Amino acid sequence: MRTLEVIELIRKGNLSVEEHTHKVLEEAKTVNKEYHYFNVIAEEQALVRAKELDAQIKKGKKTGKLLGIPISVKDAICVKGVESTAGSRILEGYIPPFNATAVQRCLDEGAVVIGKTAQDEFGFGGFSVNVGVGFQVPKNPFDVTRATGGSSGGCAGFTQKTKHAHLSLGESTGGSIVAPASFCGVVGLCPTYGRVSRYGLMDYANSLDKIGPMAKTIEEAALLFEVIAGHDDRESTTLAQPAERYTSYIKKPLKGMKLGIVKEAFAKGNDPAVEKHVRDGIGRLEKEGAVCEDVSLKLAIKYGISAYYLVATSEASTNLAKYCGMRYGKHDKLEGSFNEYFTKVRSANFGEEAKRRIMLGTFARMAGYRDAYYLKALRVRSLIIQEYKKLFKTYDALVTPTMPMLPPTFSEIAKLTPLQHYLADIMTVSPNLAGLPHLNMPCGMEKGLPVGMLLTADHLQEGKLVQLGSWLEGRGGGA
Amino acid sequence: MTFTTDVVIGLEIHVQLDTKTKLFCGCPTKGSADAEKPNTRTCPTCLGFPGSKPVLNKKAVEYALRLCMALGCELSPKLIFSRKSYFYPDLAKNYQISQYEIPLGLKGTLRLGDGMVVGITRVHMEEDPASLVHPSGTGSSAYVLADYNRSGIPLCEVVTEPDMHGPEQAREFMNRLMTVLSYLDIFDEKTCVIKADANISIKESGYVRSEIKNITGFREIERALFYEVERQKIAARSGEKFIQDTRGWDAERGLTFRMRVKETEADYGYILDPDLVVTEMTPAWLKQVKGSMPELAEDKIKRYVEKHKIAQLDAEVIAQERKLAELFEKVAKEVNPVLAAKWMRRELVRVMNFNKQTFDDLKLDEKHLIELLSMVEKKEITDQVAQKLLEEMVVKPFSPRPNVEKHGLKRVADTGALQKVCEDVIDENKSVVEEYLAGKEKSFQFLVGQVMRKTKGAASPQDVNGLLKRLLGGKAGG
């Protein structure tokens, strides 16, 4: 049953929040045994919260755009009172004393947090296989031998798998919302940088991180997005412009809209089945009146990945410095000097990919290399933004496949070199680098596996993405 | 840079800004109680908790801008913060939010008393780290405790050119800087801490530099500099090989010690802080800050000399001490400014120094001071009486006029009365008079002293001199 219908039932008193929450929790526990979508299922807190809401509803307080709706939250997003580790053992046992703004806004609208979802450690990956030491890898809801995509893999997997009304808060740095959404056949909307407050998000790369909604349908994603979007006094990079009613864009006619089909993204090397389904999707949008033209994004495709990894790892390597076993998270026996102590804690508790990115980032910002790597990457980033901005003078949105392949198997992933691993993000990295809103819409099924289309719009044009996405609804993903 | 002087000193001074809240969070910068508990003025942001984010305190920027303006710096049109990365247990995030490529202010100056100008390389903003507590002394504790109450307090770092040629000059620089800070109302001497790193080298070594890190407090900075100059001179005399190094200051033992040999510059891996947006220094904002600037010492000196015709030195001494200047300006409205300046800069400061009083704990009532100096101005009391009264008034305040009347301290203006006293003294000291008449000048001073004693200083020495000379001259003639 769809979220909006469930909210209506709850509002009318035909369904209790506790009952619905209970159902979803039971399902989550069962599913988790095989699929590992949750790092923590916050059963106790969720049921307490559900009872509180029921009591309020009885007293007549029935407002709230998400009244009684269970939400799962990516582990990197802080939830007060619930262990939040960003999927890393170094934060084992850390219970945040505050809610992330996005979480708080959902709670203020009547939502119930049911748990923290699996992810690549601190978001460092595109398949959710780079989980922290001691964590389980989430499995694709269509085929357990395949990956969910990452890094918001737990969000996407459970969103697909659940039979109940449920929404999910994901987070993207270089594609971590749309990539798993594509592999799991769900809707994932990554907003404009600064549109949703990052307050309470454990940072991967602060100039790139964005919290966004994941859901079965575009309407539900738009609803969740309405709730979390907007300025936040506690987060300096949030934008001042007021959020819009994004749900009002659903099924707005496409006549007069111009789409740019990115040539470079339909080149050799893509899985032909992916291309076929994305072309089908484009055809549907054309049928609704959108005009499509081929465009080129040379710079973004050529330099996006390099610039992204330099900026992201430079920032990440400073963000992760705070995890030293001193104030929170994993501690060790106090021995040796401070240097020896934190080295021991970090060596034992960061995963391989976290260590790799710390080293890459530290190197890129060292004196002597800083100009050639970190600062040059910042300049390239500006040029890529300009390249996009030029296209958005003519086009309302750009279209590519989200991922160039079908969800890969774990054994295929194991054969990838780190560079091949990074290259899988080729379509998703550039919109992230440019801070542009982008949307994964499921657009077809191939061999029982979902294919996703990526739509990218100009800054703050999430409305257009919702509008376009609503005409692609119901095409694959089994949602 | 080529140096020629015996000693070369450059300073990096960290000034805690006296804002109500910290630089990037709403925690108070000061505790309410004297014996404050550690880690009570903290929040997720200044503890560096995962997910916390900094939000810039605009007031701190305004304070820093005032300092830049007072030092005549070129102002950056944009305020940009960077992350300075290094692992240290006092750093909540293991990076410090600081400024790197583009500091708030560049190329300022501060003029010393002898007209020498010390160049200011840059002024930038940053956050203070936590304080580390060594339970049984630095170096000998098995563990340290971290107190994050200080974490995130706004700092302004002032970096000078290596323009100072000795610890005395460095002290004067610090004095002048303190004056500027005091006028700007951005630094509270009682609660805010000033720290410095000092670069020192001497000619004999070919100017191989030692950097003394983290000297806390105004007086310690001077002590450390004196020590280090002497240490280097002795080392040079004994033929020691000089290596550029970083040293610590042990205030208890009063010496510097080598911490590490500096082979290369520390690599802090600076990146822009992506949690903070670039803040535009709009003309309107700068104008508003400029409008809030008080009159500074330099301007006051000029005004005192030009408008009030006060001696340059008096003007300088008064203007360098904000509270003295404020008191002076009140007194000068009621009393002749030249007289007021002379009395306040010489007598008042002397008496205060003697009693080890500072302007912060000076009890002297300005009304009483005005009363006293008015009496001096009108020649109602002599300078001697006024000095004595001032000495007492500084220790325990009272209104001087009733006191003068009660104790009969009014200047003996009546020549008849004074002549009577002089005649008495001559009669009572015949042998001394004779000695004087025989040519012994000292005896005359004795007689003057006797008259002064009898009048309790209420007679002016000039009057007494004249009268005695006349009376004794008459005698000699008879």
Which residues numbered 329-348 in B keep a CB inside 8 Å of some CB on A?
Answer: none
**In the predicted structure, residue B15 carries a pLDDT above the cut 50:** yes
Average pLDDT over chain A, rounded to an integer: 95
Nearest CA in chain B to A324: B94
Range A70-98 average pLDDT: 97
Residues A48-62 have pLDDT tens digits of 999 999 999 999 888
Q: φ and ψ at B8, to 5 degrees?
A: -125, 125
Residues B52-108 have pLDDT tens digits of 999 999 999 999 999 999 999 999 999 999 999 999 999 999 999 999 989 999 999
Q: Which residue from B44, B271, B273 is facing A374, i.e. has the nearest CB?
A: B271
**In the predicted structure, residue A18 carries a pLDDT above the cut 80:** yes
**CB–CB of A121/A91 below 8 Å?**
no
Q: How confident is the model at residue B478 (pLDDT cuts 50, 70, 90)?
A: very low
**CB–CB of A453/A242 below 8 Å?**
no
Partner A contacted by B277 (CB < 8 A): yes
What element of type H or E holds B360? none
Q: φ and ψ at B282, to 5 degrees?
A: -70, 150
Where do the DSSP E strands lie in B217-315? Answer: 245-250, 255-261, 271-272, 279-280
The pLDDT value recorded for residue A394 is 97
Residues B158-174 have pLDDT tens digits of 999 999 999 989 988 99
Range A413-438 average pLDDT: 89
Q: DSSP assignment, residue A90?
A: G
Residues A249-302 have pLDDT tens digits of 999 999 999 999 999 988 777 899 999 999 999 999 999 999 999 999 999 999
Q: Which residue has the tokens 């801490």?
A: B193
Q: Which residue from B48, B54, B273 is facing A322, i.e. has the nearest CB?
A: B48
* Interface test with chain A among B21, B39, B49, by most A beta carbons within 10 Å: B49
The Cα B109–Cα A54 span in angstroms is 68
A262: β partners: A295
ipTM: 0.94
Share of chain B above pLDDT 90, in %: 44
Which residues fall within 8 angstroms of residue A286, CB to CB, at 6 or more apart?
A292
**In the predicted structure, residue A334 carries a pLDDT above the cut 80:** yes
Range B438-450 average pLDDT: 82
Q: Which residue has the tokens 């208890």?
A: B252
The Cα A417–Cα B167 span in angstroms is 60
Partner A contacted by B55 (CB < 8 A): yes
Q: How far is B265 from chain A (nearest CA, A)?
A: 9
**CB–CB of A152/A120 below 8 Å?**
no
Q: φ and ψ at A196, to 5 degrees?
A: -115, 135
Residue B405 token pair: 């009347």
Nearest CA in chain A to B265: A367
Q: Is A154 helix (H, G, I), strand (E, B) or coil?
A: helix
**In the predicted structure, residue B468 carries a pLDDT above the cut 90:** no
The pLDDT value recorded for residue B216 is 87
Active site residues of A: 74, 151, 176
Range B302-316 average pLDDT: 88
The pLDDT value recorded for residue B139 is 66
Q: How confident is the model at residue B477 (pLDDT cuts 50, 70, 90)?
A: very low
Q: Which of A440, A428, A455 minimizes the C-alpha distance to A175?
A: A428
The pLDDT value recorded for residue B265 is 62
Q: What is the end-to-end Cα distance of chain B in Å, rounded?
A: 80
Q: Which residue from B89, B267, B275 is facing A206, i.e. has the nearest CB?
A: B275
- Specify the pTM: 0.89
Q: How confident is the model at residue B448 (pLDDT cuts 50, 70, 90)?
A: confident
Q: Which of A132, A103, A312 minimizes the C-alpha distance to A198?
A: A103
**CB–CB of B439/B453 below 8 Å?**
no
**In the predicted structure, residue B16 carries a pLDDT above the cut 60:** yes
Average pLDDT over chain B, rounded to an integer: 87
Residues B254-296 have pLDDT tens digits of 899 988 886 566 689 999 999 999 999 999 999 999 999 999 9
Partner A contacted by B441 (CB < 8 A): no
Residue A106 token pair: 């959902």
| DSSP β-ladder status, A143-147 and A139-140 | antiparallel
Q: What angle do CA B399, B405, B410 make, to 5 degrees?
A: 110
Q: Which of A283, A214, A254 minimizes the C-alpha distance to A71?
A: A214
**In the predicted structure, residue A72 carries a pLDDT above the cut 80:** yes
Residues A235-245 have pLDDT tens digits of 999 999 999 99
The pLDDT value recorded for residue A368 is 84
Q: Do A236 and B50 touch (CB under 8 A)?
A: no
Which residues fall within 8 angstroms of residue A288, CB to CB, at 6 or more apart?
A253, A254, A255, A471
Q: DSSP assignment, residue B347?
A: I
**In the predicted structure, residue B155 carries a pLDDT above the cut 90:** yes
What element of type H or E holds A169? strand A167-172
Q: Is B410 helix (H, G, I), strand (E, B) or coil?
A: coil
Q: Which residue has the tokens 């060594």?
A: B134
Range A307-324 average pLDDT: 97
Contacts 24+ apart (CB under 8 A), B315-320: B315/B341, B316/B113, B317/B345, B317/B349, B318/B344, B318/B345, B319/B179, B320/B175, B320/B176, B320/B179
Range A21-43 average pLDDT: 98
